[in-house]
Amino acid sequence: MWLFVFFDLPVGTKTDRRAATRFRNFLLKDGYMMLQFSVYARICNGQDRVTKHLQRLKSQIPQSGSVRAMQITDKQYERMSILVGEKKNNEKTKAEQLVLF
C-alpha cells in the first residue's frame, strides 16, 4: 500500500515557516518521498503499517493549515500518469518488496 500526505501550511510568519519546515523534515525522515512540493508518499506493507504511520503523522501536524492523508494500493499507484514534466530519477514507480523463503 501507499500512503499519500497532502498539505497546505501557512508560511506568512517565521513561526509558521519553522513549523512547515519541521513537518516536511519529519516526512522525509519517516521515509516519505516528495512527489510535488506539498505531496509526499511512502510505501507501507499492510494496513497495520498504514495505521502506525497515520498515528505518527497525527503527532507531528502543525497547529494551523490543512493536512490530508490517503492510502492507495500498489496497482492504483502504478496507474498514475505524469501529465506534465518528467519522472525524477529518485522517484519510485513500483513498490519494491523483498520476498523471503
Q: What's the pLDDT at 93?
A: 57
3-state helix, strand, coil in the chain (%, to 5): 35, 25, 45
pLDDT over 90 (residue 96) = no
Q: In the numeric block, which cell numbers belong to residue 89?
A: 530519477
User: Please, which residues bridge with residue 34 across strands?
Assistant: 40
The answer to whether the beta carbons of residues 38 and 6 sit under 8 Å apart is: yes
Mean pLDDT of 8-32: 96
Reported as a single tens digit per residue, the pLDDT across 53-95 is 999 999 999 999 999 999 999 999 999 888 887 777 666 655 5
Strands (E), the chain: 2-8, 33-36, 39-43, 66-72
Per-residue pLDDT, 86 = 75
Show Cβ contacts of residue 1 under 8 Å, excluding neighbours closer than 6 positions: 43, 44, 45, 46, 47, 49, 50, 71, 72, 73, 74
pLDDT tens string 23-54:
999 999 999 999 999 999 999 999 999 999 99
SS3 96: coil
The domains of the chain, with CATH numbers, are: 2-78 (3.30.70.240)
